[in-house]
Amino acid sequence: MLVAELVELLEQRYPPSWAESWDRVGLTLGEPTAEVTRVLLAVDCDPRTVAEAVEAGAEFMFTHHPLLLRGVSSVAPTTYKGRIVHQLIRAGIALHTAHTNGDVADPGVSDALAARLGLLDVRPLVPIADTGRGHGRIGRLPAPMALADLAKLVSSSVGGVRVAGPADTTIRTVAVSGGAGDAFLADAARAGVDAYLTSDLRHHPAHEHLAAGGPVLLDVSHWASERPWLDDVAAFLRRETGLQTIVSDVDTSPWTFLEDGNS
């Protein structure tokens, strides 16, 4: 199919109008009349995932995070983002992004995260009125479990996790939010859930949340919280188009290892 046809399909599922006003989504670069047979999906467009797309022979990259979220005055190959733009153009690879419009979609980023935990009766944490869409998700575990066991489940199904709360706390209901989740701490508390799983939690907001009696917290990397969604998008593309899809497992988190001082 053509780039323009694939973009139309993606924008039917993740309309750009659903994105936040500050966001930059949609087709970033690529010739609309170029043909696509293979798509690489990644959380970030960076030199490693671009190299993966080139090696795989992909003609189209779908990413969650925008490459050009903030304005640039140059895409010269002497700049970091300029080099990526030139690499993509030279390789004939189009780049398309669904970011906050993918966050609020139904199903969207947080649905995929909730599915990794097996949550049931899933609904938006912060609903958008009269749409069925919203930010984050709430659901119940198939059976109650201790926080320590939930942390093990998160570690095995999503990624390494930091935990704030007593290990023996019984968890029945969980709120999740892919990506940075500070903004929804109060919503998780109001929802009355037992635990909130997200990423990029900061010291002071988390401290104040817990001091106010909010649900226990589980914090994974930003990349890990959003990577599950790519499998859903890839399955959608295969089902609707028959295109070949490659989901990148290149971990684009800036953090590379943890040194706890005990080894």
**64 assigned ligand-binding residue:** yes
**What is the DSSP code (8-state) at residue 260?**
-
Alpha carbons 64 and 229: distance in angstroms, whole number: 9
Contacting residues for 262 by C-beta, under 8 A, at least 6 apart:
none
Alpha carbons 192 and 185: distance in angstroms, whole number: 11
**59 assigned ligand-binding residue:** no
Alpha carbons 86 and 263: distance in angstroms, whole number: 43
**103 assigned ligand-binding residue:** yes
Q: Which amino acid is at 22?
A: W
What secondary structure does DSSP assign to 140-159, as a single string?
A: EEEEEEEHHHHHHHHHHHT-
| Residue 216 backbone dihedrals phi, psi, to 5 degrees | -60, 160
Q: Which amino acid is at 157?
A: S
What does the buried/exposed string (b/e) look like for 126-143 if buried means 16 or more CB atoms within 10 Å of the residue's CB? beeeeeebbbbbbbbbee
**203 assigned ligand-binding residue:** no
Binding-site annotation: residue ranges:
64-65, 103, 222, 226
Binding-site annotation: residue ranges for a divalent metal cation:
64-65, 103, 222, 226
